[in-house]
């Protein structure tokens, strides 16, 4: 079973709190001590982010590791394929993908996904799995960025958290730059199973995942079809 858990915002990168979404991710492995590897490339392998990862998932009794690209880098393929869960951190998506492609990590992650290793992550680590993502990798503007394409669609994180997100998605729809968008609010995750959205998982407030489209120049927000809501 292929799984992706795409988080719109929140989690251990902001604070070590109740670890609701982290616990949820661990539970999907059905293992007491799953192996989980953190990939913090989008922040340039920020040390404090890595420290928070270890604090969070060590407390959940996971077998933890991370990958550095800005120090000496391990042999990627055997390490990635030995994991139960991959967790990708937030940050600059465009730079992250460029580094991954240079190292061949994009194809390794694809193989891992096809081998039923769970893919997860927040912000950049949420949109990277889709065909395209709405990114703020550029300082002064939002952009539509080609991503890994493991699953179909265009994804926007932080939909209710960052004021520029909703206007940009609306403008892109009205100008026919995109046909539709999967918009994930903060403190919410979209759980995809076998490439299809299955659960909208809220882990703090009553937040949701939306299907956003445009008809007759009017923006329409609907719930994703055939999706179940989970409140942690």
Three-class SS state of 155: strand
Residue 179 has a CB neighbour count (10 Å cut-off) of 11
How far are the Cα atoms of 128, 147, 171 from residue 144, in angstroms, in the given order?
12, 9, 12
What is the DSSP-derived secondary structure letter of residue 11?
S
Of 120, 123, 172, 202, catalytic: 123
Q: Hey, is 197 helix, strand or coil?
A: strand
CB 99, CB 92: distance < 8 Å: no
Residue 158 is among the residues annotated as catalytic for this protein: yes
User: Is residue 126 within 8 Å of 7, Cβ to Cβ?
Assistant: yes
Q: Which of 29, 120, 158, 200 is catalytic?
A: 158
- Residue 123: active-site member: yes
Quote the DSSP letter at residue 128: T
**DSSP-assigned letter for residue 31:** -
Q: Give the span between the Cα atoms of 129 and 200, in whole angstroms.
A: 16
Task: Show which residues are catalytic.
Answer: 123, 158
């Amino acid at each position: 079973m292929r799984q992706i858990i795409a988080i719109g915002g929140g989690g251990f990168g902001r604070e070590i709190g109740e670890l609701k979404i982290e616990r949820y991710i661990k539970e999907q492995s059905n293992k007491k001590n799953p192996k989980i590897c953190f990939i913090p490339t989008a922040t340039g392998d920020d040390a404090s982010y890595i420290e928070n990862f270890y604090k969070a998932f060590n407390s959940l009794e996971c077998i933890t590791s991370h990958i550095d690209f800005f120090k000496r880098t391990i042999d990627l393929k055997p390490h990635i394929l030995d994991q139960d869960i991959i967790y990708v951190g937030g940050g600059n998506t465009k730079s992250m993908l460029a580094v991954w492609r240079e190292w061949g990590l994009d194809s390794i992650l694809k193989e891992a996904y096809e081998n039923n290793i769970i893919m997860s992550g927040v912000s950049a680590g949420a949109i990277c799995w889709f065909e395209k993502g709405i990114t703020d990798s550029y300082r002064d503007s939002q952009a539509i960025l080609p991503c890994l394409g493991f699953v179909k669609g265009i994804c926007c994180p932080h939909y209710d958290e960052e004021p520029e997100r909703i206007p940009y998605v609306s403008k892109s729809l009205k100008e026919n730059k995109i046909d539709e968008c999967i918009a994930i609010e903060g403190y919410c995750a979209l759980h995809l199973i076998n490439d299809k959205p299955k659960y909208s998982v809220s882990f703090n407030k009553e937040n949701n995942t939306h299907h956003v489209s445009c008809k007759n120049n009017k923006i329409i927000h609907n719930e994703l079809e055939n999706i179940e809501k989970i409140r942690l």
